[in-house]
Amino acid sequence: MNVLVTGGSGFLGTHLCGELRARGYTVVAPGSKTADLRAPRSLERFNDLRYDRIFHLAAWTQAGDFCLYHPGEQWIINQQINTNVLAWWHSDQPQAKLIAIGTSCAYDPQREAVEENYLAGVPTESLFTYAMTKRMLYAGLLALSKQFGLRYLQVVPSTIYGPGYHTDGRQMHFIFDLIRKILRGQRYGDPVVLWGDGRQVRELVYIDDFLRTMLALADTVENENVNIGSGEGLTIRHFAQTIADLVGYDFAKIQFDTTRYVGALYKCLGIRKLRALVPDYAPLPLEDGLKRTIAWCTEHMDRVADG
């Protein structure tokens, strides 16, 4: 099978390309230096293959409060990336099934985060632009499928965690930030200060669970949008307590700074559709996933701890 992956150099893309190559697929995964997707026709030079699948992962974003301070750039860049990739798919590789990655940020926090609500209501204000560019990506899939019969799958992950996260100074997703701070507290005695009162609810999906499920759906499901999460929303306090217990740090020492940005107060995906499509879906228990992630962070402590 011939597969093109955008965003193949990122956290998710690195794992995905490894898995696809392990399955024996031919994988083409240009980074932004070889194919800057802001430019039209940047994928043209990869047309010597006819692709069976296009995994579209590339997006210009970071976690934390990044979206709050870059809405204009995010609107321009992500609209360019998505438009150029979908236009190339339509004109040059229409036989391919395109698998796109949505975001849980697209859901209106006042509504249940189930697939039929993906385009309903208004996303959290601080994440509005990023969320709306992801909604437009989905609108593009719907439009191209409707008019030209192109085949797609969109998957919407909750926060993905596991080994192999980036350590280049970009803002981290909350779970890596928690691990980093608590490891630093334990190792160097640094104060551990978490943003908000710790009652914000978040959900995780382990990288291997996400990949296995996305690849299974890519083979079996067409023209659908499917949430992939653990289905279990937990407070930041709960995550912090579990990490502290696993690394042997006193949870009572953790401080909560209620003046800091916390984003959405509640984020947890409904996964009824996923369970119907994949009846044997059994995500890795949180403690096991955290142990593996902490082990990786500890091994890469010099880089992770210095963020």
Ligand X SMILES: NC(=O)c1ccc[n+]([C@@H]2O[C@H](COP(=O)([O-])OP(=O)(O)OC[C@H]3O[C@@H](n4cnc5c(N)ncnc54)[C@H](OP(=O)(O)O)[C@@H]3O)[C@@H](O)[C@H]2O)c1
**Binders in 88-117 for ligand X, by CB under 6 A:** 101, 103
Give the interface size with ligand X as a residue count (CB under 6 A): 25
Q: Count other Cβ atoms within 10 Å, centred on residue 101.
A: 24
Q: Is 8 helix (H, G, I), strand (E, B) or coil?
A: coil
Partners of 4 in the β-ladder: 28, 54
Structure tokens at 256: 């909560």
- Looking up tokens 């608590």 gives 182
Quick one: which of 18, 31, 270, 307 contacts ligand X (CB under 6 A)?
31
Near ligand X by CB under 6 A, which window of 26-34, 213-221, 235-243, 293-301? Answer: 26-34
59 is a contact residue toward ligand X (CB under 6 A): yes
Q: How far is the CB of 207 from ligand X (least distance, A)?
A: 9
Q: How far is the CB of 57 from ligand X (least distance, A)?
A: 4
Which stretches does DSSP call E strand in the chain?
A: 2-6, 26-28, 53-56, 97-101, 151-157, 159-161, 193-195, 201-202, 204-206, 224-228, 234-235, 255-257
**Which of 32/167 has CB closer to ligand X?**
32
- Looking up tokens 């609500």 gives 117
Q: How far is the CB of 38 from ligand X (least distance, A)?
A: 5
Amino acid type, 101: I
Structure tokens at 201: 């609810």
28 is a contact residue toward ligand X (CB under 6 A): no
- Looking up tokens 């949180």 gives 286
140 is a contact residue toward ligand X (CB under 6 A): no
Quick one: which of 3, 7, 17, 192 contacts ligand X (CB under 6 A)?
7
Q: How far is CA 3 from the centre of its chain?
A: 20
Crossing angle of helices 236-247/174-188, nearest 10°? 40
* Helix ranges (DSSP H) in 23-168: 66-69, 71-92, 128-148
171 is a contact residue toward ligand X (CB under 6 A): no
Quick one: which of 70, 151, 166, 238 contacts ligand X (CB under 6 A)?
166
Quick one: which of 3, 160, 183, 294 contacts ligand X (CB under 6 A)?
160
**Which of 186/293 has CB closer to ligand X?**
293
Quick one: which of 3, 12, 144, 269 contacts ligand X (CB under 6 A)?
12
Q: How far is the CB of 209 from ligand X (least distance, A)?
A: 12
**Which of 81/127 has CB closer to ligand X?**
81
Cα distance between residue 178 and residue 183, in whole Å:
8
CB proximity list for 170: less than 8 A, separation 6 or greater: 62, 63
81 is a contact residue toward ligand X (CB under 6 A): yes
173 is a contact residue toward ligand X (CB under 6 A): yes
238 is a contact residue toward ligand X (CB under 6 A): no
Cα distance between residue 167 and residue 302, in whole Å:
10
9 is a contact residue toward ligand X (CB under 6 A): yes
Partners of 126 in the β-ladder: none
Cβ atoms of 242 and 278 closer than 8 Å: no
36 is a contact residue toward ligand X (CB under 6 A): yes
**Which of 58/183 has CB closer to ligand X?**
58
Residues that bind ligand X (CB under 6 A): 7, 9-13, 31-33, 36-38, 57-61, 81, 101, 103, 157, 159-160, 166, 173
